[in-house]
Amino acid sequence: MPMPSTPPALTNESALARYPFLPQARSHMRKLFDDNAIDIDAIIEQGWLEEARSLGRLRLVESIVHKSEADPMGTVDLANEASRLFSMAAYQYAFMVVCASFDDRLVSRWAEGESSLADKNIGIDEVYFETIVKTYISSLKISLENGQMIYSVPLSDFLELCPRISGSYWRLVNRPVNDGWVTLDPASGETSAKRVARLVKERIREELIERSRESMARMSEQLADRLGEEVTRISELFGSQVRSELPIASATREDWPPCFSNSIEELASGVNVNHVGRVFVAAMGRSMGLPLEMTCSFFEGAPDYDPQTTSYQVGHVYEREYTPHGCGALKAAARCPVGPGDDRLCDQEWLTHPLKYLRAKQRSRAKSETVVRANERRVI
């Protein structure tokens, strides 16, 4: 089901500045810019808007590195008219830079960062929560249970959006359904409102991507050239961030740290691995980009294995984005199988985390492959 064709009215200027991606914000942004003689040239070049450009750069950086806990607008006083203007201009500047890159991967990354920030803010917005949700979801049902607001969304919206979210909570079989309504009750320390906001995030992300693609199709080469220096900076940051992440996602079994390999071998052998070891396996699987189903399969040999329980617990680790334990914590929990001299890499003083082991192994392998390819070219 697409977004509602007519979003609910929203005229509060502070709210529109807080959520500049809203459909309701477009006409307000145009009027605000017209009233202050702001056009594309002004946003890119005029000195008095340098503060807006700085905010836009910060907004871009936070989106690219995915620090969704950090709100670049959090320190901006949106009750102030000038601050609202700069906030709107900052968003527009960031949007133009992303589109000027003509890079679908960068657009997707930016949209993920922006929608993650929206998810965080919408879930705790006690004033405009319902208005924003009804902008992206066809309807919303509210009930009061034990003093808590419990929200339900139409089955059609849930079925469209839930497959994009990991975790057993988002499987329809685990959700209460009544007369075409799916209840999003509190879970994992989050309120019902935060659960709804997580669903809304998917709509925001896909709309941002769609609007970016439309803008890229219309953008002239001249405008893209004027933003070229900014695009280069953010593209380099994006490339650096991807290089720091992709090696983990492309890890081979030979790259796995001994603690991870040993835990999986013990589970397969029927050893009752302790709690720290089990959480570590799940968190490593998530960090390495392994499919949820694959990580769950590591536990099939455990003496107390239960498919549903395992899927729920591993899904929780994936959904909450747990970070794997470091070497110190693993040693304290008797989950480090390596002694001095057993592994040259583990003996290094700087090796304090299994993910560092993984990256070091992959860097070494990548260098070896580069040398081999260079030698092959010389032979040819």
Domains for the chain: give ranges and CATH numbers. 13-245 (1.20.930), 253-379 (no CATH)
Instruction: Please list, in sequence order, all residues whose beta carbon lies within 8 angstroms of the beta carbon of residue 308, skipping any fewer than 6 positions away.
Output: none
d(CA 268, CA 283): 18
The residue-averaged pLDDT of 181-187 equals 95
Q: pTM, whole model, 2 decimals?
A: 0.67
Q: Are 305 and 281 in contact (CB under 8 A)?
A: no
In 3D space, the residue among 317, 308, 320, 313 whose CA is nearest the CA of residue 198 turns out to be 320
Instruction: Tell me how far the alpha carbon of residue 111 is from its chain's centroid.
Output: 9
User: Could you report the per-residue pLDDT of 20-61, keeping only the tens digit for each?
Assistant: 999 999 999 999 999 999 999 999 999 999 999 999 999 898
d(CA 99, CA 150): 38
Q: Above 70 in pLDDT, residue 19? A: yes
User: Could you report the per-residue pLDDT of 336-379, keeping only the tens digit for each?
Assistant: 999 989 999 999 988 999 988 988 887 777 666 655 455 554 55
Helix (H) or strand (E) holding 245: helix 228-249
Burial of 74 (0-12, 13-18, 19+ CB in 10 A): exposed
The residue-averaged pLDDT of 254-272 equals 88
Q: Above 80 in pLDDT, residue 216? A: yes
Beta strands in 169-212 (DSSP E): 177-178, 181-184
pLDDT, residue 77, reads 79
d(CA 28, CA 265): 59
Q: Above 50 in pLDDT, residue 246? A: no
pLDDT, residue 243, reads 53
Task: Name the DSSP letter for residue 190.
Answer: B
